[in-house]
Amino acid sequence: MARAVMYDNIRRAGTVLASSALALPLMAMVAPGARAEGMPQLDFGNPYVIGQVVWGAGIFLVLYLLLSRSALPKVEKVLSLRRQTIETDLGIAHKAKTRADEAVADLHEARRKALADAQANVDKVVEEARLAAARQTEEMNARLATEIQDAETRIAQARGQALASVREISTTTAETLIHQLSGIAAPADFVTAKVGSAAAARGL
Amino acid sequence: MAAGSSIDALGQFELHPVLGALGESLRFSQSPMMMIVAAIVVLAFLYVGMRPAAVVPGRLQSAAEMCYDFIHNMAVDTIGPEGRAFFPFVFTLFFFILAGNYLGLLPFSFAFTSHIAVTLALALMVFCLSIIVSLKVQGAKFLAHFMPAGAPKALAPLLIPIEILSFLSRPVSLSIRLFANMVAGHVMFDMFAAFTIMLAGLGFFGDIIAVGPVVINIALMALELLVGALQAYVFAILTCIYLREAVAH
């Protein structure tokens, strides 16, 4: 029984504390003794109702003047400065991009030109090498032709000399053969004439 | 607030002098005090946010610039190129109302937008401005708007009064919309908070059930954050629409 009473007292105390805590801010909103009869807003006999309009007009005017003359132009100034900065930076970026594009185009042109020059140089060197090789070949051919001609001349001379000795050798050989076979010494003029006619018949 | 078994949800809207005798003599209540706080918050947000003035902004500067762009786009897109001239006015209006709505959600605070006198004054200011701009830009042709183009002239006696009534209802709808939304939100806060206190007095089961209104109030706070921004936006966008009609040739 005593425990139940104690529990009840604790609960009541807690309820009062909780209610007070919740009610405090709300109660504080109302001035002491404020008990409205109808809507206080419509009590135009209350001088404070009209007073707040007069004060409100003054406060609104001051707020308007401060905002329009000072605070808002400050915001506008920052915003326009930002717009200006962004536009300037965009302009610089556009110019830089244009310059970069031009540089890339120049680079491509220079690369193309270098490639063309290199190709021309390669072609020129190849042509020069080809011409030099042709010239060397011609010179070699000419030298070989001269050497061949010289050799042929020498061969012809040697052949001429050899052919010139054929009649003499044939005459000597014929006289020796006749002497060996018949024991008779054939007249030299006869043998020479016969060898000469035989050689002429064979084109020697 | 709960008083015995009754709930006084409207007491929170009562105005009381602050700053003692000086406030009493100057008719300075918690409402203008919160207006000053709202103005200081808006100005501090812009001045502190824009102090770095960095080309690459930080978080606070980004937030300030986003707010600027949001209202600027709203004014220019809705009103047209002439909207640039009205941008500071729309900006002031939007953030004055927004700060008022949000500051009213803080404990120990007061929502000055929950007073019809304030919202009506703001709406009448917009209304008068739109008429002045209309007369300046359009001259007497402004009156021609009260007769819809292409409508049969025989219907003029019927249409013109309707149009005039519709035009005159603008400040009423503008002010009541904001006022009613703010009042409704704060009354609901108070009601559910009072429910919590009343339920808590019912004993053990009351304590458990009392959690319900607290949860509802938390959800209401989220809703009020949405409503606060939405109402400021609606007020500002309607102002832009009225000004667009005023500058239209």
pLDDT digits (tens, 9 = 90+) for A169-186: 888 888 888 888 888 888
Q: What is the dihedral of CA B166, B170, B173, B179, to 10 degrees?
A: -170
Please determine, for residue B26, whether its predicted confidence score (pLDDT) is greater than 70: yes
- Tell if the CB–CB gap between B31 and A78 is shorter than 8 Å: no
What phi and psi values does residue B82 have, to the nearest 5 degrees?
-70, -15
CA distance A101 to chain B (A): 29
What phi and psi values does residue A183 have, to the nearest 5 degrees?
75, 5
- Tell if the CB–CB gap between A78 and B65 is shorter than 8 Å: yes
Please determine, for residue B61, whether its predicted confidence score (pLDDT) is greater than 70: yes
Instruction: Express each pLDDT in B130-153 by its tens digit.
Output: 999 999 988 888 888 788 778 888
Residue B134: count other Cβ atoms within 10 Å of its Cβ: 20
Element (H, E) at B6: strand B6-7
Please determine, for residue A22, whether its predicted confidence score (pLDDT) is greater than 50: no
Please determine, for residue B4, whether its predicted confidence score (pLDDT) is greater than 80: no
pLDDT category at A41 given cuts 50, 70, 90 is confident
CA distance A6 to chain B (A): 14
Residue of B26, B27, B175, B192 for testing the chain A interface, max A β-carbons within 10 Å: B27
Q: Which residue has the tokens 């300046």?
A: B136
Please determine, for residue B58, whether its predicted confidence score (pLDDT) is greater than 60: yes
- Tell if the CB–CB gap between A44 and B196 is shorter than 8 Å: no
pLDDT category at A7 given cuts 50, 70, 90 is very low
Give the per-residue pLDDT at A168: 83
Window from A63-72, B22-31, B163-172 with minimum mean pLDDT = B22-31
Cα distance between residue B5 and residue B194, in whole Å: 10
Window from A20-24, B52-56, B226-230 with minimum mean pLDDT = A20-24
Q: Please tell me the pTM assigned to this model.
A: 0.70
CA distance A7 to chain B (A): 11
- Quick one: closest CA in A to B32, which residue? A52
pLDDT category at B36 given cuts 50, 70, 90 is very high
Q: Which of B237, B187, B165, B31 is nearest to A59 (CA)?
A: B31
Averaged pLDDT score across all residues of chain A: 81
Is B212 in the A-facing interface, judged by CB distances under 8 Å?
A: no
Give the per-residue pLDDT at A60: 94
Give the per-residue pLDDT at A37: 61
- Tell if the CB–CB gap between A29 and B27 is shorter than 8 Å: no
- Tell if the CB–CB gap between A66 and B43 is shorter than 8 Å: yes
- Tell if the CB–CB gap between A46 and B10 is shorter than 8 Å: no
- Tell if the CB–CB gap between A29 and B13 is shorter than 8 Å: no
What phi and psi values does residue B108 have, to the nearest 5 degrees?
65, 15
Is A146 in the B-facing interface, judged by CB distances under 8 Å?
A: no
Give the per-residue pLDDT at B124: 94
pLDDT category at B5 given cuts 50, 70, 90 is low
Cα distance between residue A82 and residue A75, in whole Å: 11
CB B163 within 8 A of CB B146: yes
Give the per-residue pLDDT at A185: 83
Instruction: Express each pLDDT in A184-197 by its tens digit.
Output: 888 888 888 888 88
Instruction: Express each pLDDT in B171-225 by its tens digit.
Output: 999 999 999 999 999 999 998 998 888 888 888 888 888 888 899 999 999 999 9
Three-state DSSP class for residue A93: helix
CB B118 within 8 A of CB B31: yes
In this structure, what DSSP letter does residue A67 have?
Answer: I
Helix axes B83-103, B59-79, angle to 10 degrees: 130
Contacts of A50 in chain B (CB under 8 A): 27, 117
Cα distance between residue A28 and residue B186, in whole Å: 14
Contacts of A40 in chain B (CB under 8 A): 10-11, 13-15
Instruction: Express each pLDDT in A88-143 by its tens digit.
Output: 999 999 999 999 999 999 999 999 999 999 999 999 999 999 999 999 999 999 99
Contacts of A34 in chain B (CB under 8 A): 8, 11-12, 14, 16
* CB < 8 Å from A in window 73-132 of B: 87-89, 91-92, 96, 107-110, 112, 114-118, 121-122, 125
